Structure 1
Amino acid sequence: MMRAALLRVSAAASACAALTGVAACGSDDAPAAFPPAATAAPGSGTPVRDSAKLSAALLAAPDLPGAFAAVPPRDDTDDTAVPPAALTDPADCARLLTPIATQWPGSAASASVQFAGPSFATIDIDAASYLDTALAQAFDALQAQVRRCATYTGDDAGVHIDYRTAPLAQPPAGDASSAFTLTATSDGLTLTSATSLVQVGNTLVQVVVTAPEEVDPGVLTDLTAAQVRKLRG
Protein backbone atom coordinates (compact mmCIF):
# COMPACT_ATOMS: atom_id res chain seq x y z
CA MET A 1 0.00 0.00 0.00
CA MET A 2 2.79 2.46 0.83
CA ARG A 3 4.42 1.87 -2.56
CA ALA A 4 1.19 2.90 -4.26
CA ALA A 5 1.35 6.28 -2.49
CA LEU A 6 4.41 7.07 -4.57
CA LEU A 7 2.58 6.44 -7.85
CA ARG A 8 0.27 8.71 -9.82
CA VAL A 9 -3.29 9.03 -8.54
CA SER A 10 -4.38 6.66 -11.31
CA ALA A 11 -2.73 4.02 -9.11
CA ALA A 12 -2.91 5.89 -5.79
CA ALA A 13 -6.23 4.52 -4.62
CA SER A 14 -4.27 1.79 -2.83
CA ALA A 15 -2.68 4.47 -0.66
CA CYS A 16 -6.06 6.10 -0.10
CA ALA A 17 -7.34 2.82 1.35
CA ALA A 18 -4.18 2.56 3.47
CA LEU A 19 -4.50 6.03 4.97
CA THR A 20 -7.35 5.19 7.38
CA GLY A 21 -7.02 7.44 10.42
CA VAL A 22 -4.56 9.80 8.71
CA ALA A 23 -6.82 12.34 6.99
CA ALA A 24 -10.50 12.84 6.33
CA CYS A 25 -12.23 14.95 3.74
CA GLY A 26 -15.25 15.08 1.45
CA SER A 27 -16.22 16.16 -2.05
CA ASP A 28 -18.98 18.11 -3.76
CA ASP A 29 -21.82 16.12 -5.26
CA ALA A 30 -21.97 17.80 -8.70
CA PRO A 31 -19.12 17.71 -11.25
CA ALA A 32 -17.26 21.00 -11.58
CA ALA A 33 -17.70 23.09 -14.72
CA PHE A 34 -14.46 23.44 -16.66
CA PRO A 35 -13.60 26.60 -18.61
CA PRO A 36 -12.75 26.34 -22.32
CA ALA A 37 -9.52 24.41 -22.92
CA ALA A 38 -6.32 26.40 -23.43
CA THR A 39 -5.02 26.67 -26.99
CA ALA A 40 -1.48 25.56 -27.73
CA ALA A 41 0.91 28.22 -29.00
CA PRO A 42 2.74 27.66 -32.30
CA GLY A 43 5.71 25.36 -31.80
CA SER A 44 9.28 26.53 -32.17
CA GLY A 45 9.97 23.83 -34.74
CA THR A 46 12.76 22.36 -32.61
CA PRO A 47 11.58 19.55 -30.33
CA VAL A 48 14.01 18.01 -27.86
CA ARG A 49 15.14 14.68 -29.34
CA ASP A 50 17.43 13.47 -26.53
CA SER A 51 15.61 12.00 -23.51
CA ALA A 52 18.71 12.43 -21.32
CA LYS A 53 18.83 16.13 -22.18
CA LEU A 54 15.13 16.47 -21.41
CA SER A 55 15.59 14.63 -18.11
CA ALA A 56 18.36 17.04 -17.13
CA ALA A 57 15.95 19.93 -17.72
CA LEU A 58 13.47 18.65 -15.13
CA LEU A 59 13.52 19.84 -11.53
CA ALA A 60 15.77 18.00 -9.08
CA ALA A 61 15.46 17.51 -5.31
CA PRO A 62 17.44 20.72 -4.45
CA ASP A 63 14.89 22.70 -6.50
CA LEU A 64 11.95 21.51 -4.38
CA PRO A 65 10.48 22.94 -1.16
CA GLY A 66 10.82 20.99 2.08
CA ALA A 67 12.30 17.55 2.60
CA PHE A 68 11.58 15.86 -0.72
CA ALA A 69 13.86 13.08 -1.94
CA ALA A 70 14.07 11.56 -5.39
CA VAL A 71 12.43 8.16 -5.80
CA PRO A 72 14.48 5.63 -7.83
CA PRO A 73 13.07 5.24 -11.35
CA ARG A 74 10.43 2.54 -11.57
CA ASP A 75 11.17 -0.58 -13.57
CA ASP A 76 7.90 -0.95 -15.44
CA THR A 77 9.07 -4.31 -16.82
CA ASP A 78 9.09 -5.80 -13.31
CA ASP A 79 5.52 -6.78 -12.48
CA THR A 80 6.44 -7.44 -8.83
CA ALA A 81 7.90 -3.97 -8.22
CA VAL A 82 4.86 -1.82 -8.96
CA PRO A 83 1.25 -2.66 -8.06
CA PRO A 84 -1.18 -2.39 -10.98
CA ALA A 85 -3.31 0.70 -11.34
CA ALA A 86 -6.84 0.44 -10.01
CA LEU A 87 -9.43 -0.53 -12.61
CA THR A 88 -11.62 2.42 -13.54
CA ASP A 89 -15.06 2.93 -15.07
CA PRO A 90 -14.82 4.28 -17.74
CA ALA A 91 -11.61 2.30 -18.31
CA ASP A 92 -10.00 5.13 -20.31
CA CYS A 93 -9.92 7.35 -17.21
CA ALA A 94 -7.11 5.21 -15.77
CA ARG A 95 -4.79 7.15 -18.10
CA LEU A 96 -5.22 10.39 -16.14
CA LEU A 97 -1.89 11.58 -14.70
CA THR A 98 0.07 8.85 -16.44
CA PRO A 99 3.12 10.31 -18.23
CA ILE A 100 2.31 12.56 -21.18
CA ALA A 101 4.21 10.33 -23.61
CA THR A 102 1.99 7.42 -22.52
CA GLN A 103 -1.21 9.39 -22.99
CA TRP A 104 -0.15 10.67 -26.42
CA PRO A 105 2.52 8.44 -28.05
CA GLY A 106 4.87 9.65 -30.76
CA SER A 107 7.04 12.08 -28.80
CA ALA A 108 10.56 12.84 -29.97
CA ALA A 109 11.82 12.44 -26.38
CA SER A 110 10.32 11.99 -22.92
CA ALA A 111 11.46 12.00 -19.29
CA SER A 112 10.03 11.82 -15.79
CA VAL A 113 11.07 12.22 -12.15
CA GLN A 114 9.32 11.37 -8.88
CA PHE A 115 9.90 12.68 -5.36
CA ALA A 116 8.59 11.58 -1.96
CA GLY A 117 8.11 13.94 0.94
CA PRO A 118 6.71 13.95 4.48
CA SER A 119 3.19 12.77 5.34
CA PHE A 120 2.74 10.77 2.13
CA ALA A 121 3.20 13.86 -0.08
CA THR A 122 4.68 13.28 -3.54
CA ILE A 123 5.74 15.39 -6.51
CA ASP A 124 5.72 13.89 -10.01
CA ILE A 125 7.04 15.71 -13.07
CA ASP A 126 7.15 14.38 -16.60
CA ALA A 127 7.73 15.94 -19.99
CA ALA A 128 7.43 14.96 -23.64
CA SER A 129 8.63 16.87 -26.69
CA TYR A 130 6.71 16.76 -29.99
CA LEU A 131 7.08 17.82 -33.59
CA ASP A 132 4.98 20.83 -34.59
CA THR A 133 2.48 18.55 -36.34
CA ALA A 134 1.66 16.64 -33.12
CA LEU A 135 2.10 19.36 -30.50
CA ALA A 136 -1.37 20.94 -30.53
CA GLN A 137 -3.07 17.54 -30.83
CA ALA A 138 -1.25 16.27 -27.76
CA PHE A 139 -2.05 19.39 -25.70
CA ASP A 140 -5.72 19.23 -26.72
CA ALA A 141 -5.95 15.50 -25.95
CA LEU A 142 -4.53 15.91 -22.44
CA GLN A 143 -7.11 18.56 -21.58
CA ALA A 144 -9.97 16.64 -23.20
CA GLN A 145 -9.12 13.58 -21.09
CA VAL A 146 -9.52 15.61 -17.88
CA ARG A 147 -12.92 16.90 -18.98
CA ARG A 148 -14.18 13.47 -20.05
CA CYS A 149 -13.28 12.10 -16.62
CA ALA A 150 -14.96 14.73 -14.44
CA THR A 151 -16.31 11.89 -12.28
CA TYR A 152 -15.53 8.17 -12.45
CA THR A 153 -15.03 5.18 -10.19
CA GLY A 154 -12.36 2.59 -9.58
CA ASP A 155 -11.76 -0.70 -7.85
CA ASP A 156 -8.49 -1.73 -6.24
CA ALA A 157 -8.48 -5.24 -4.75
CA GLY A 158 -12.15 -4.91 -3.87
CA VAL A 159 -11.84 -1.38 -2.49
CA HIS A 160 -14.23 1.09 -4.16
CA ILE A 161 -12.77 4.50 -5.10
CA ASP A 162 -14.54 7.63 -6.30
CA TYR A 163 -12.53 9.94 -8.55
CA ARG A 164 -13.30 13.55 -9.37
CA THR A 165 -11.56 16.23 -11.43
CA ALA A 166 -12.08 19.98 -11.09
CA PRO A 167 -10.54 23.09 -12.65
CA LEU A 168 -7.80 24.82 -10.66
CA ALA A 169 -7.06 28.53 -10.97
CA GLN A 170 -3.36 29.11 -11.67
CA PRO A 171 -1.38 32.01 -13.16
CA PRO A 172 -0.47 31.66 -16.85
CA ALA A 173 2.73 29.65 -17.31
CA GLY A 174 4.98 28.86 -20.26
CA ASP A 175 3.56 29.39 -23.74
CA ALA A 176 0.18 27.89 -22.81
CA SER A 177 -1.10 26.23 -19.65
CA SER A 178 -4.01 24.60 -17.88
CA ALA A 179 -4.51 23.23 -14.36
CA PHE A 180 -6.85 20.92 -12.48
CA THR A 181 -7.22 18.82 -9.36
CA LEU A 182 -7.92 15.10 -9.16
CA THR A 183 -9.16 13.48 -5.97
CA ALA A 184 -9.34 9.77 -5.16
CA THR A 185 -11.72 9.11 -2.26
CA SER A 186 -12.37 5.84 -0.44
CA ASP A 187 -14.11 5.26 2.90
CA GLY A 188 -14.25 9.01 3.52
CA LEU A 189 -10.50 9.47 3.01
CA THR A 190 -8.97 11.31 0.08
CA LEU A 191 -5.73 11.81 -1.83
CA THR A 192 -5.66 15.09 -3.75
CA SER A 193 -3.44 15.84 -6.75
CA ALA A 194 -3.00 19.41 -8.00
CA THR A 195 -1.77 19.29 -11.59
CA SER A 196 -0.49 21.75 -14.16
CA LEU A 197 -0.13 21.05 -17.89
CA VAL A 198 2.26 23.48 -19.56
CA GLN A 199 3.67 24.03 -23.04
CA VAL A 200 7.24 25.33 -23.30
CA GLY A 201 8.22 25.53 -26.96
CA ASN A 202 7.68 22.06 -28.38
CA THR A 203 7.72 20.41 -24.97
CA LEU A 204 4.70 19.60 -22.80
CA VAL A 205 5.30 19.17 -19.09
CA GLN A 206 3.02 17.85 -16.34
CA VAL A 207 3.65 18.85 -12.72
CA VAL A 208 1.66 16.92 -10.08
CA VAL A 209 1.63 17.57 -6.32
CA THR A 210 -0.20 14.86 -4.34
CA ALA A 211 -1.05 14.78 -0.63
CA PRO A 212 -3.61 13.22 1.74
CA GLU A 213 -5.02 16.70 2.27
CA GLU A 214 -5.87 19.76 0.19
CA VAL A 215 -2.80 20.93 -1.73
CA ASP A 216 -1.85 24.62 -1.44
CA PRO A 217 -2.27 26.00 -5.00
CA GLY A 218 0.70 28.29 -4.37
CA VAL A 219 2.99 25.28 -4.10
CA LEU A 220 1.97 24.13 -7.58
CA THR A 221 2.35 27.69 -8.90
CA ASP A 222 5.93 27.95 -7.62
CA LEU A 223 6.94 24.49 -8.85
CA THR A 224 5.45 25.11 -12.29
CA ALA A 225 7.19 28.47 -12.65
CA ALA A 226 10.51 26.93 -11.59
CA GLN A 227 10.06 24.08 -14.07
CA VAL A 228 9.30 26.48 -16.92
CA ARG A 229 12.43 28.50 -16.11
CA LYS A 230 14.58 25.39 -16.10
CA LEU A 231 13.15 24.12 -19.39
CA ARG A 232 13.88 27.49 -20.97
CA GLY A 233 17.40 27.13 -19.65
Structure 2
Amino acid sequence: MPRWMEPVAAAPGTGNVVRDPARLSAGLLAATDLPGDFAVVPSREESDGPAVPAAALTNPPDCARVLSPIADQWPGSAAAASVQFAGPSFATIDIDAASYADTALAPAFDAVQSQFRRCTSYSGDDAGIRIEYRTTLLEQPPAGDVSTAFTVTASSEGLTLTSATSFVQVGNTLVQVVVTAPEVVDPGVLSDLTAAQVRKLRG
Protein backbone atom coordinates (compact mmCIF):
# COMPACT_ATOMS: atom_id res chain seq x y z
CA MET A 1 0.00 0.00 0.00
CA PRO A 2 1.54 3.38 -1.01
CA ARG A 3 2.37 5.61 1.94
CA TRP A 4 1.22 9.20 2.18
CA MET A 5 3.93 11.61 1.07
CA GLU A 6 4.15 15.33 1.73
CA PRO A 7 1.10 17.31 0.54
CA VAL A 8 1.24 18.65 -3.02
CA ALA A 9 1.38 22.43 -3.39
CA ALA A 10 -0.92 24.20 -5.82
CA ALA A 11 0.66 25.79 -8.88
CA PRO A 12 0.40 29.56 -9.40
CA GLY A 13 -2.84 30.59 -11.04
CA THR A 14 -2.91 31.79 -14.62
CA GLY A 15 -5.63 34.36 -13.99
CA ASN A 16 -7.90 32.64 -16.53
CA VAL A 17 -10.91 32.14 -14.26
CA VAL A 18 -14.00 30.45 -15.71
CA ARG A 19 -17.02 32.42 -14.54
CA ASP A 20 -19.75 30.80 -16.66
CA PRO A 21 -21.04 27.46 -15.29
CA ALA A 22 -22.25 26.44 -18.76
CA ARG A 23 -18.78 26.98 -20.20
CA LEU A 24 -17.21 24.97 -17.38
CA SER A 25 -19.77 22.22 -17.84
CA ALA A 26 -18.92 22.07 -21.55
CA GLY A 27 -15.31 21.45 -20.54
CA LEU A 28 -16.18 18.25 -18.66
CA LEU A 29 -16.04 14.84 -20.30
CA ALA A 30 -19.17 13.61 -22.09
CA ALA A 31 -20.49 10.06 -22.46
CA THR A 32 -18.86 9.86 -25.90
CA ASP A 33 -15.47 10.50 -24.27
CA LEU A 34 -15.75 7.50 -21.94
CA PRO A 35 -14.74 3.88 -22.41
CA GLY A 36 -17.45 1.24 -22.45
CA ASP A 37 -21.17 1.76 -22.10
CA PHE A 38 -21.69 4.74 -19.81
CA ALA A 39 -24.70 7.06 -19.80
CA VAL A 40 -25.23 10.43 -18.14
CA VAL A 41 -27.23 10.34 -14.93
CA PRO A 42 -29.75 13.25 -14.89
CA SER A 43 -29.21 15.77 -12.13
CA ARG A 44 -31.87 16.30 -9.49
CA GLU A 45 -32.95 19.46 -11.31
CA GLU A 46 -33.38 17.54 -14.58
CA SER A 47 -35.02 14.42 -13.15
CA ASP A 48 -38.61 13.88 -12.10
CA GLY A 49 -37.49 11.04 -9.82
CA PRO A 50 -36.92 11.22 -6.07
CA ALA A 51 -34.08 13.31 -4.70
CA VAL A 52 -30.78 11.59 -4.02
CA PRO A 53 -30.53 10.72 -0.30
CA ALA A 54 -28.22 12.80 1.85
CA ALA A 55 -24.74 11.44 2.51
CA ALA A 56 -24.50 8.94 5.33
CA LEU A 57 -23.48 10.28 8.73
CA THR A 58 -19.82 9.70 9.52
CA ASN A 59 -17.56 9.64 12.54
CA PRO A 60 -15.75 12.03 12.55
CA PRO A 61 -18.64 14.07 11.04
CA ASP A 62 -16.33 16.17 8.87
CA CYS A 63 -15.25 13.08 6.88
CA ALA A 64 -18.65 13.01 5.16
CA ARG A 65 -17.18 15.75 2.92
CA VAL A 66 -14.69 13.36 1.31
CA LEU A 67 -15.60 12.94 -2.39
CA SER A 68 -18.18 15.74 -2.20
CA PRO A 69 -17.94 18.38 -4.98
CA ILE A 70 -14.98 20.72 -4.75
CA ALA A 71 -17.20 23.81 -4.67
CA ASP A 72 -19.02 22.41 -1.64
CA GLN A 73 -15.77 21.71 0.17
CA TRP A 74 -14.43 25.23 -0.50
CA PRO A 75 -17.17 27.80 -1.26
CA GLY A 76 -16.47 30.94 -3.25
CA SER A 77 -15.77 29.49 -6.68
CA ALA A 78 -16.41 31.69 -9.72
CA ALA A 79 -18.18 28.77 -11.41
CA ALA A 80 -18.79 25.10 -10.70
CA ALA A 81 -20.06 22.14 -12.71
CA SER A 82 -20.48 18.39 -12.30
CA VAL A 83 -21.59 15.32 -14.22
CA GLN A 84 -22.24 11.70 -13.27
CA PHE A 85 -22.25 8.62 -15.49
CA ALA A 86 -23.60 5.14 -14.78
CA GLY A 87 -22.10 2.09 -16.43
CA PRO A 88 -22.23 -1.69 -16.36
CA SER A 89 -21.85 -3.73 -13.16
CA PHE A 90 -22.90 -0.78 -10.96
CA ALA A 91 -19.82 1.25 -11.98
CA THR A 92 -20.07 5.04 -11.89
CA ILE A 93 -17.89 7.96 -12.97
CA ASP A 94 -18.30 11.30 -11.21
CA ILE A 95 -16.55 14.44 -12.41
CA ASP A 96 -16.82 17.87 -10.83
CA ALA A 97 -14.88 21.07 -11.33
CA ALA A 98 -14.69 24.52 -9.77
CA SER A 99 -12.82 27.59 -10.98
CA TYR A 100 -11.28 30.03 -8.50
CA ALA A 101 -9.64 33.43 -8.58
CA ASP A 102 -5.88 33.44 -8.01
CA THR A 103 -6.22 34.40 -4.35
CA ALA A 104 -8.62 31.53 -3.58
CA LEU A 105 -6.95 28.86 -5.71
CA ALA A 106 -4.26 27.65 -3.30
CA PRO A 107 -6.57 27.70 -0.23
CA ALA A 108 -9.16 25.66 -2.14
CA PHE A 109 -6.56 23.15 -3.33
CA ASP A 110 -5.13 22.80 0.17
CA ALA A 111 -8.57 22.43 1.79
CA VAL A 112 -9.69 19.59 -0.48
CA GLN A 113 -6.35 17.82 -0.20
CA SER A 114 -6.22 18.10 3.58
CA GLN A 115 -9.76 16.70 3.80
CA PHE A 116 -9.02 13.32 2.25
CA ARG A 117 -5.56 13.12 3.82
CA ARG A 118 -7.06 13.69 7.27
CA CYS A 119 -9.85 11.12 6.85
CA THR A 120 -7.73 7.99 6.41
CA SER A 121 -10.02 5.84 8.56
CA TYR A 122 -13.60 6.65 9.52
CA SER A 123 -17.00 5.04 9.86
CA GLY A 124 -20.48 5.82 8.67
CA ASP A 125 -24.08 4.89 9.29
CA ASP A 126 -26.63 4.52 6.52
CA ALA A 127 -30.11 3.60 7.77
CA GLY A 128 -28.61 1.64 10.65
CA ILE A 129 -26.00 -0.13 8.53
CA ARG A 130 -22.41 0.49 9.62
CA ILE A 131 -19.89 1.34 6.91
CA GLU A 132 -16.12 1.36 7.38
CA TYR A 133 -14.08 3.71 5.17
CA ARG A 134 -10.35 3.66 4.40
CA THR A 135 -8.57 6.33 2.39
CA THR A 136 -5.16 5.54 0.89
CA LEU A 137 -2.74 7.16 -1.51
CA LEU A 138 -3.05 6.08 -5.14
CA GLU A 139 -0.03 6.32 -7.41
CA GLN A 140 -0.91 7.99 -10.71
CA PRO A 141 1.03 9.69 -13.53
CA PRO A 142 1.33 13.48 -13.21
CA ALA A 143 -1.64 15.33 -14.68
CA GLY A 144 -2.52 18.96 -15.32
CA ASP A 145 -0.45 21.64 -13.60
CA VAL A 146 -0.32 19.60 -10.39
CA SER A 147 -2.20 16.53 -9.19
CA THR A 148 -2.64 13.91 -6.53
CA ALA A 149 -4.77 10.78 -6.27
CA PHE A 150 -6.32 8.58 -3.62
CA THR A 151 -8.67 5.64 -3.12
CA VAL A 152 -11.65 5.44 -0.77
CA THR A 153 -12.75 1.91 0.13
CA ALA A 154 -16.16 1.49 1.75
CA SER A 155 -16.88 -1.89 3.37
CA SER A 156 -20.14 -3.06 4.91
CA GLU A 157 -21.62 -6.50 5.62
CA GLY A 158 -19.13 -8.26 3.37
CA LEU A 159 -19.56 -5.86 0.45
CA THR A 160 -16.84 -3.49 -0.74
CA LEU A 161 -17.10 -0.40 -2.94
CA THR A 162 -13.94 1.28 -4.24
CA SER A 163 -13.66 4.90 -5.42
CA ALA A 164 -10.41 5.72 -7.23
CA THR A 165 -10.05 9.50 -7.34
CA SER A 166 -7.77 12.03 -9.00
CA PHE A 167 -7.63 15.66 -7.88
CA VAL A 168 -6.07 17.97 -10.45
CA GLN A 169 -5.36 21.65 -11.04
CA VAL A 170 -5.69 22.94 -14.60
CA GLY A 171 -4.97 26.66 -14.63
CA ASN A 172 -7.46 28.25 -12.26
CA THR A 173 -9.78 25.25 -12.33
CA LEU A 174 -9.72 22.33 -9.90
CA VAL A 175 -11.23 19.07 -11.09
CA GLN A 176 -12.03 15.80 -9.34
CA VAL A 177 -12.48 12.53 -11.27
CA VAL A 178 -13.95 9.60 -9.33
CA VAL A 179 -14.30 6.06 -10.70
CA THR A 180 -16.38 3.83 -8.42
CA ALA A 181 -16.97 0.10 -8.76
CA PRO A 182 -17.82 -2.88 -6.55
CA GLU A 183 -14.31 -4.21 -7.05
CA VAL A 184 -10.78 -2.84 -7.34
CA VAL A 185 -10.62 -0.08 -9.97
CA ASP A 186 -7.90 -0.44 -12.61
CA PRO A 187 -5.58 2.55 -11.98
CA GLY A 188 -5.06 2.82 -15.73
CA VAL A 189 -8.74 3.59 -16.25
CA LEU A 190 -8.50 6.53 -13.85
CA SER A 191 -5.27 7.86 -15.37
CA ASP A 192 -6.70 7.68 -18.90
CA LEU A 193 -9.88 9.49 -17.86
CA THR A 194 -7.92 12.13 -15.97
CA ALA A 195 -5.62 12.77 -18.93
CA ALA A 196 -8.62 13.09 -21.24
CA GLN A 197 -10.32 15.48 -18.81
CA VAL A 198 -7.22 17.67 -18.60
CA ARG A 199 -6.97 17.82 -22.40
CA LYS A 200 -10.61 18.86 -22.69
CA LEU A 201 -10.32 21.57 -20.06
CA ARG A 202 -7.28 22.95 -21.86
CA GLY A 203 -9.35 23.04 -25.01
Length-normalised TM-score, structure 1: 0.84
Percentage identity across paired residues of the two chains? 74
Please tell me whether the aligned partners of residues 70 and 115 of structure 1 are also in contact (alpha carbons under 8 angstroms): yes
* Inter-CA distance 213–157: structure 2 relative to 1 (3 Å threshold): same
**Residue of structure 2 equivalent to 1:18:** none
Matched residue, 1:197: 167
Q: Partners of 1:72 and 1:146 in 2: how far apart?
A: 27
Q: What is the distance in 2 between the residues matched to 1:114 and 1:123?
A: 6
Q: Distance in 1 between matches of 2:117 and 2:12?
A: 23
Alignment of 1:180-219 (within 5 A): 180-219=150-189
Report the secondary structure of 2:199's partner residue.
Answer: helix
Deviation at 1:74, TM superposition (A): 2.2
* Whole-angstrom CA distance in 1 between matches of 2:45 and 2:159: 29
Task: Report if aligned partners of 1:57, 1:231 keep a CA contact under 8 Å in 2.
Answer: yes
Which residue matches 2:31? 61
What amino acid maps onto 1:107 in structure 2?
S
Alpha-carbon separation, structure 1, partners of 2:14 and 2:117: 28
Report the equivalent of 1:229. 199
Q: Find the aligned partners of 2:199 and 2:50 in 1 and give their Cα distance.
A: 37
* Counterpart code for 1:65: P
More strand by share: 2
Deviation by residue 1:163-222 (Cα, 9 ceiling, x = unmatched): 010000000000000000001100121100000000000000000000000000000000
2:57 corresponds to 1:87: yes
Q: Distance in 2 between matches of 1:105 and 1:152?
A: 24
Contiguous gaps of at least 5 residues in structure 2? none
Report how far residue 45 of structure 1 moved. Answer: 0.9
Q: Which residue of 2 aligns with 1:112?
A: 82
Counterpart for residue 146 of structure 2: 176
Cα distance, 1:33 vs structure 2: 3.5
Q: CA deviation at 1:79?
A: 10
Name the amino acid aligned to 1:198: V
Are 1:141 and 2:111 matched, yes or no?
yes
**Secondary structure of the residue that 2:97 maps to in structure 1?**
strand
How far apart, CA to CA, are the structure 1 residues paired with 2:53 and 2:7?
A: 33
Name the structure 2 match of 1:51: 21
Q: What are the superposed Cα offsets for residues 26-81 of structure 1, whole Å, 9 maximum, x if unpaired?
A: xx9xxx731111111100012100000000000000000000000001249x9942
Pair 72,80 (structure 1): closer, same or farther in 2 beyond 3 Å: closer
